Chain A
């Protein structure tokens, strides 16, 4: 891929550092009055998720990373890979366990997720912020008990286990925040 110099650095730019695709979070031009200039860069390694800092000599060049984000539809999993399809081109990709990470427990067939692709390969799967899933297993609901605010665990159709209010029954579809794992309400609410 093409190269960029530090003068083109800006937040959001995807570059290759030590062979890994990284996204620039912050870029500061630093130059003491009589000294040489450098760029202090904060970035996230897109493979490990770690946020790191590095100082570059001003004018230094780095390679751009071929990283892009794509909305893709989840198809199925064979336990080792999770398969997604581009709804427009019908092109399929497979994401491994590292890329899918915590997203796996929210995935239901047909769900549209954001995939981060590096050289065409998925390195990260981001589910929608909230999903609606059916409760397949939980202790019986206590009717009328809306006042106590207590919670109980509920297993969802995808395997995820979340805390729900005591009145939720098996078979109900609930809305969950995928970022926090929190119950948001009944589906459609």
Chain B
């Protein structure tokens, strides 16, 4: 019998994989963005699981908004990456400081 705890475990493992991905790929912005998408997917699974097991549809509404914001953030992040790459010729971001000042 699949309980809420199963879904929460899956979401927790996905979350930690996403965090691990950000930690390991600090030089590669595309992989960092993909790891952020994994984190957001884990949060969505959490929201939907809670919504189903508590019988409240608010969780799914919020999951939809999380999806919207994640898509917008991915678009802007990739746009910034593209123009960064145009200027620099590489996407090594360990010492990115060109946007401040």
Partners in one complex: no
